[in-house]
Amino acid sequence: MTTMTALRAQAAAARSAAAGATGTAATALPRDRPESPDLRFSSQLRAKKVMREDMEWYQVEGYASAFEQGYEMWDFYGPYTEIVSHGAADATLAADPEVVFRFNHAGTPMASTRNSRLQLWSDDAGLGQRAWLNPKRADVALLVQAIEDQDVREQSFMFRITSGQWSPDYTEYRINSFDLDRGDVGPVTYGANPHTSVSSRSGEFLASIATLPPIVAREALARLSERTDLTGARTPAPAVPPAPVIAPATARAEGRSISMVRTQLLATLASEED
């Protein structure tokens, strides 16, 4: 079994070779990385009722990202460490992006920068957000209750990378700048950076191989054996000749009876000619 350390080394070597062969700039995105990944970070969410503009609102705040904290990602070549640099949000926040606040990146927005009920900021810790939510909405009430019960404790944000840099050994990718415009921030059910693309979920697939149901494992093996881009491909096993078909006993008996009748007829004809 290949260790994670070995996988990382192999992936880094493959990236380095690919960059050298194609002349790809060091700022190129990791291959097959989703343009707008769903990155999730642990965050202490806080929800409380406040008065704002003569109305009562639920104020929910926390950090949608954490700067200078490495997390695992996967690209076409394998695993690597990704880090969001301190200051990566400065340019996009200065451009006054349009961003919405949603739960699990789905459903109707609960607040937005456009209506001034979503505030975003960047500090040493990361990308912070504060939203004012309408308590009359049923989805807001459910979210706030889940936060108070600590069933929802994580934050996430969706963005687009505008500047990044590989480390010299291609084991670490650093996001130096990202664009939040038309993205979203908000609480999510699970944290610890789960990923949304096939490439980035490769680690989950490897971890599950040992427990795959037999029918799924056989299908996966069959499909992998058809790929032509894998080194050390397995040599197909020689075809096993089909087992001889043995006729049922009744058919054999019938066959012998027909032969006997034919022989008797031939003998009879021969004797008549004599």
Could you report the per-residue pLDDT of 215-256, keeping only the tens digit for each?
Answer: 667 777 887 888 877 765 454 555 555 555 555 544 444 444
* Cα–Cα nearest to 60, from 158, 5, 134, 159: 134
Q: What is the mean pLDDT of residues 147-171?
A: 88
Q: Is the sign of the CA dihedral 161, 162, 165, 170 positive or negative?
A: positive
- Confidence grade of residue 143 (pLDDT, cut at 50, 70, 90): very high
Would you state the pLDDT for residue 198?
42
Would you state the pLDDT for residue 251?
45
Between 115 and 194, where is the model more confident? 115
Would you state the pLDDT for residue 244?
57
Helices (H) and strands (E) in the chain, counts: 6, 11
Query: For 19-28, 66-75, 145-154, which range has the lowest pLDDT when averaged over its residues?
Result: 19-28
* Cα–Cα nearest to 129, from 137, 118, 138, 140: 118
Give the model confidence (pLDDT) of 180-227 as tens digits.
999 899 888 764 444 333 444 566 667 677 777 676 677 778 878 888
The mean pLDDT of the chain is 78
Angle (nearest 5°) at CA 220 between 215 and 225: 130
DSSP H/E element including 165? strand 154-166
Give the model confidence (pLDDT) of 49-107 as tens digits.
999 988 999 999 988 888 999 888 888 888 899 999 999 999 999 999 999 999 988 88
In angstroms, what CA-CA distances link 85 with 37, 65, 193?
16, 11, 16
Strands, E, within 67-145: which ranges? 71-74, 79-84, 99-103, 106-112, 118-122, 126-133
- Confidence grade of residue 167 (pLDDT, cut at 50, 70, 90): very high
Which tokens in the block code for residue 167?
A: 């480390």
What is the pTM (predicted TM-score) of this model? 0.68
Residue 167, amino acid: S
Which tokens in the block code for residue 49?
A: 């009722």
- In three-state secondary structure terms, 12 is helix
